[in-house]
Amino acid sequence: MSEDLNKNIASEIKKRRTFAIISHPDAGKTTLTEKFLLYGGAINTAGSVKGKANSKYAVSDWMEIEKERGISVTSSVLQFNYDGYCINILDTPGHQDFSEDTYRTLMAADSAVMVIDASKGVEAQTIKLFKVCVMRHIPIFTFINKMDLEARDPFELLDDIESVLGIRTCPINWPIGSGKRFKGVYDRFSKQVSMFKAVSVGGAKSAAETDYAVEDEALKAEIGDELYNQLLDEIELLDGASDELNQELVDKGELSPVFFGSALTTFGVETFLEHFLKMTQSPLARMSDEGLIDPATEPFSGFIFKIQANMNKAHHDRIAFMRICSGKFDATKEVFHMQGGKKMRLSQPQQIMAQDRKVIDEAYAGDVIGVFDPGVFSIGDTLCMPAHKFKYEGIPTFAPEHFCRVVQLDSMKRKQFNKGVTQLAQEGAIQIFQDYTLGLSEIIVGVVGVLQFDVLKYRLENEYGCDIRLEPLPYNYIRWVKDKTIDLNKLKRITDCKKVKDMRDNPLLLFANEWSIRLMLENNEGLELEEFSRD
């Protein structure tokens, strides 16, 4: 590889920023995402997530069920350019029932933006997702949203983040008032106050704004004596008591830069984006079974973190989402699929903007691209060059906690039904099991969150034309049997338990409670049960 080519690849990778947006439902994550896209020129009008019948839907909420319910149920990938950067946003579902999809998506991100509702502070789902970011030691940036509505005291909000999530905070800007008295934000580094005028929900990408130096008498006249004096007091308190910005601690995920604004009315969004891009790093080295893989010096490699069927209803296709981890991807060259053990050419590589796609010839470390999946990929698979083979660390599979028997209502559509449940299982949204003795004549679905049952039913009916009935089963625990050769029919004292096998014929047991698990182990000497599959 020539030196010039190496420099070009390194330069392209340096421009990349790949981050996930996480939040509790309704904190404004999808709205913030759309405003980023407006600034990048990727869209002309922002969609309202909960719009009226004739409103434009949010770009990242592209599935029909998302449009109907006004929630995100699957992760979206959105790529756009802004100010010399190439940005890959991984928009995640906020609802906890889809947290498994979010966990997997966080594996593909280099940093995370945490959106918090200013009136509510840290909420349950934020805690869960935040802990995954902490486990990965990725930088976390906080956007405290909805300052144009009645909000909690900003010092209280910072304390909430620090005490509940266990991470230090450093406010980069500071709000002046909230709700009807929200006047704008003070930038602690430039010592400028940006006054904003709200824009409409869709509308122009930038709000009308006027900047004042904090000492400017015109600012005092604009916001009034009370808010002005309060701002000066709070600036003094912040400068004396809050953590200083330490980039090293930010990079380690130990200090979260905090921004205040309003995504819906565009207060503080561009400021946040500009600071964020300067404070985040280009793609970092990733761990493999051969050690750390450097993104700039190693040849192409990547891993699959998501599979989505039927993004294009006309073609019933399957798209595998791949995070490129090193080098340059060249669509004309063969790659090696480690788990499949063979060379292959990746078909129809695409840049993705939610459900819209553009075929590409090349991509670089940090990019997330879609490739056509002929049914050979699984979540966590590594793709690399044939001359340098290795595997990236796997993506954990979560044990389902809710189970239903799936009853097909039209036996004539058995083929579509089998295809549907198999493809949805390969996406990772559901897990499929069979009765241990009845086999495929009794299909059982396991999910992490019950809302996934609604999505399963909706998608089987609308994408595969299969009507089903879901019959809840009284089990909340699943255990894989370590010895795969064991005959489950010979186990003693089976109480509140169901014998099943997964689609690879591994034996499993479903239990109603932990007491049943203990009873099973006590009465079957030598039986070993595991909480996760080791496949």
**Residue that finishes a domain, picked among 279, 309, 336:** 279
Could you list the residue range(s) of the whole structural domain that residue 59 is in? 3-75+110-279
Contacts of 225 (CB under 8 A, 6+ apart): none
Does some domain include residue 318? Answer: yes
Does some domain include residue 327? Answer: yes
In this predicted structure, what is the pLDDT of residue 353?
64
The residue type of 327 is G
Does some domain include residue 240? Answer: yes
Shared domain for 257 and 118, answered yes or no, is yes
The residue type of 24 is H
Could you tell me how far CA 80 lies from the centroid of its own chain? 17
- Which CATH number does the domain housing residue 313 bear? 2.40.30.10
In this predicted structure, what is the pLDDT of residue 316?
60
Shared domain for 133 and 211, answered yes or no, is yes
Contacts of 369 (CB under 8 A, 6+ apart): 321, 322, 324, 329, 349, 350, 351, 352, 360, 363
Segment (H or E) for 433: strand 431-435
Shared domain for 126 and 261, answered yes or no, is yes
Shared domain for 70 and 202, answered yes or no, is yes
- What is the Cα–Cα distance from 135 to 23, expressed in whole angstroms? 17
**Residue that finishes a domain, picked among 251, 279, 307:** 279
Does some domain include residue 88? Answer: no
- Give the pair of three-digit tokens for residue 381: 């698979």
By the 8 A CB rule, do 143 and 259 touch?
Answer: yes
Residues facing 330 on adjacent strands: 362
What is the full DSSP assignment across 159-197? HHHHHHH--EEEESEEEE--GGG--EEEETTTTEEEEE-
Q: Are strands 382-384 and 255-260 parallel, antiparallel or unpaired?
A: unpaired
- Give the pair of three-digit tokens for residue 147: 């300052």
Shared domain for 114 and 11, answered yes or no, is yes
Shared domain for 490 and 361, answered yes or no, is no
Shared domain for 455 and 339, answered yes or no, is no
Shared domain for 170 and 317, answered yes or no, is no
Number of domains, the chain:
3
Shared domain for 261 and 330, answered yes or no, is no
- Give the pair of three-digit tokens for residue 349: 């590589």
What is the full DSSP assignment across 401-419? -EEEEEEES-GGGHHHHHH
Hey, which bits of 224-341 come out as E strands? 255-260, 286-288, 291-293, 301-309, 318-326, 328-330, 335-337
Does some domain include residue 101? Answer: no
Does some domain include residue 130? Answer: yes
- Which CATH number does the domain housing residue 141 bear? 3.40.50.300
**Residue that finishes a domain, picked among 230, 262, 279:** 279
The model's pTM: 0.76
Task: Centre a 10 Å sphere on the Cβ of residue 522 and count the other Cβ atoms it contains.
Answer: 11
Burial 227-263 (b: 16+ CB within 10 A, else e): bbeebeebeeebeeebbebeeebbbebbbbbbbbbbb
Shared domain for 291 and 269, answered yes or no, is no
3-state secondary structure of 473: strand
484-514 pLDDT per residue, tens: 888 888 888 777 789 998 877 889 999 998 8
Does some domain include residue 496? Answer: yes
- Which CATH number does the domain housing residue 523 bear? 3.30.70.3280
The residue type of 211 is D
Does some domain include residue 309? Answer: yes
Shared domain for 138 and 246, answered yes or no, is yes
Shared domain for 347 and 227, answered yes or no, is no
In the predicted model, residues of the chain with pLDDT beneath 70 are 1-5, 42-76, 92-101, 125, 196-209, 309-316, 352-356, 396-398, 429, 532-535
- What is the Cα–Cα distance from 275 to 114, expressed in whole angstroms? 15
